[in-house]
Amino acid sequence: MKKNPICTILWRDAAYSYDQDLPRENPLPRLTVGFIIKSDDDLTFIATNVAYDSESDTISPIDGFIIPNKSIIKFEKVAYLNDPENE
């Protein structure tokens, strides 16, 4: 079975919305947990919900976040799906 890493990303979200005034303080950091689908020098795509096919042992993203790497405060692998040590 393939071990799929489950990760946490602590990151800063945008502080502006076109229909609101700029906030006086920065928003609190966001903590997102999920599977890393893709990562490059600029962006990280973390899926928070996935479809799991047990026959092919694959995951497919349903939804998630694309986070600019400059916004990431902390990135950590916390566990693995299909890891016998976690069972």
Name the residue ranges covered by the structural domains of the chain.
Answer: 4-15+26-82
CA distances from 47 to 10, 23, 31, 76, 84 (A): 14, 28, 13, 15, 22
pLDDT of res. 13: 87
| 80-84-87 Cα angle (round to 5) | 85
pLDDT of res. 54: 82
pLDDT of res. 12: 93
Please, what CATH class does the domain formed by 4-15+26-82 belong to? mainly beta
Which residue ranges of the chain lie beneath pLDDT 70? 1-2, 15-17, 82-87
Q: How do strand 72-81 and strand 58-68 relate by DSSP bridges? A: unpaired
CA distances from 21 to 8, 17, 28 (A): 30, 8, 17
CA–CA separation, 82 and 38 (whole Å):
19
